[in-house]
Amino acid sequence: DADVTQTPRNRITKTGKRIMLECSQTKGHDRMYWYRQDPGLGLRLIYYSFDVKDINKGEISDGYSVSRQAQAKFSLSLESAIPNQTALYFCAAGQAGSPQHFGDGTRLSIL
Amino acid sequence: GQQLNQSPQSMFIQEGEDVSMNCTSSSIFNTWLWYKQDPGEGPVLLIALYKAGELTSNGRLTAQFGITRKDSFLNISASIPSDVGIYFCAGQLSGGSNYKLTFGKGTLLTVNP
């Protein structure tokens, strides 16, 4: 697989806090993605990046921001966390025309 | 936007039985993907389909890309306990942005030993 690593794996925090989720990949893929998974809703795309400094909004980008300052790294930030952002977050990486490969996820709980 | 209808939502079967699940779309895709998610892990790619009508196998798994390009099915033969998990279909469009991957809501499979 694309050796996609996400940190932290679990995080509990309070409403209003700023949170950053990190993602790194070791296969040199150009494209990286952040998804959110909620029970019964499947995976929904938050942001994606096709190259360093390239940032594009997905379906549900409000309340989130991302940074792609290196090809191997793509971070997701919640500037001021709110309880309905409690979810499982996945990072994925891939090349054009090839399937995306996923990390093992970050379980985020906002109290 | 595009929507994928994945069915069934859940299945409870006995070990050794065959399983079938499918996805239908309101519009066409160029690629169909099937992923499996185990508890506490991310989705793992099982099968990728790139051509309408294509039938592809991966061990006990078989998937087909519908001829209309609006549907796909996944079959699992002779199920075993480790087949337990959530199975997702995903459709992808190619084109200028070549990114758009739309996921179904998943099929939760339980296999009773």
Please report, as a single letter, which amino acid is at residue A42: G
The CA distance from A104 to the nearest CA of chain B, in Å, is 4
Of B42, B99, B105, the CB nearest to A48: B99
The pLDDT tens digits of the residues spanning A2-49 come to: 589 999 999 999 999 999 999 999 999 999 999 999 987 889 999 999
Residues 6+ apart with CB under 8 A from A104: A6, A9, B40, B41, B42
Tokens at B14, concatenated:
């006995």
d(CA A97, CA A86): 32
Residue A24, phi then psi, degrees to nearest 5: -135, 150
In this model, does residue B99 exceed pLDDT 70? no
Distance in angstroms (rounded) separating the CA atoms of residues A100 and A93: 5
pLDDT digit string, tens, across residues B82-95 = 999 999 999 987 66
Q: Which residues of A touch B86 (CB under 8 A)?
A: none
Residue B88 to residue A1, Cβ atoms within 8 A: no
pLDDT at A39: 84
Given a cut of 70, is residue A95 above it in pLDDT? yes
CA A53/CA A74 separation, integer angstroms: 10
- Nearest Cα neighbor of B2 from B22, B29, B20, B21 is B29
pLDDT > 80? residue B100? no
Question: Residue B38's closest chain A neighbor by CA?
Answer: A104
Q: CB B42 to CB A31 under 8 A?
A: no
Cβ–Cβ below 8 Å for B99 and A50: yes
pLDDT at residue B55, rounded to an integer: 96
pLDDT digits (tens, 9 = 90+) for B69-83: 999 999 999 999 999
